[in-house]
Structure 1
């Protein structure tokens, strides 16, 4: 595998985490939670993206391969929990 193939594989691995992070930040901005932490939108995107990458990495370690639905479910639960924390959901 060449370096360009490796880059495309890593890009394909990170794409679901980036898509989920972008969707959560966009929906958080549209919902307009007034009691969110003082983190700008790009900070929330970065935090959700990193949480998503960690979740996908853990799912590869536990499940043995990428692309299983359980791994994507874990990605959604982890990113949703991160977004809930960033928007101070416990203070609703």
Structure 2
């Protein structure tokens, strides 16, 4: 595998986490306008993406490989928890 192939492999591994984090950040800013007024979109996206990345790594360690439904459930939880925390407790 060439270095470019390895880079694309890693980018595609973590793309669902960052894509889901972007969609959830947009939903938070759109649905909870008053509560999320003080939060920047990039902060929501960054924390959600970081949590999703950590969840993917944890799923790989715990489950052995990517693509299991439990891993995707962990990904959703990893993206949602930081954004929920920021919306509920960090104002």
Report the TM range for the smaller structure's normalisation.
0.7 to 0.9
TM-score of the two chains, using structure 2 as the length reference: 0.88
In the alignment, what sits opposite 2:82?
A: 82
How far is the alpha carbon of 1:81 from its aligned partner? 1.6
- State how 1:39-50 maps to structure 2 within 5 Å: 39-50=39-50
Question: 1:31: Cα distance to partner?
Answer: 0.6
Runs of 5+ unmatched residues, structure 1:
none
Consecutive unaligned residues in structure 2, runs of 5 or more: none
What root-mean-square deviation, in Å, do the aligned CA atoms of Structure 1 and Structure 2 show? Answer: 1.6
In structure 1, what is the Cα distance between the partners aligned to 2:2 and 2:8? 10
Give secondary structure in 2 for the equivalent of 1:88.
helix
CA separation in 2, counterparts of 1:21 and 1:72?
A: 13
Superposition deviation, residue 83 in structure 1: 1.5
Moved over 4 A (4+): none
TM-score using structure 1 length: 0.87
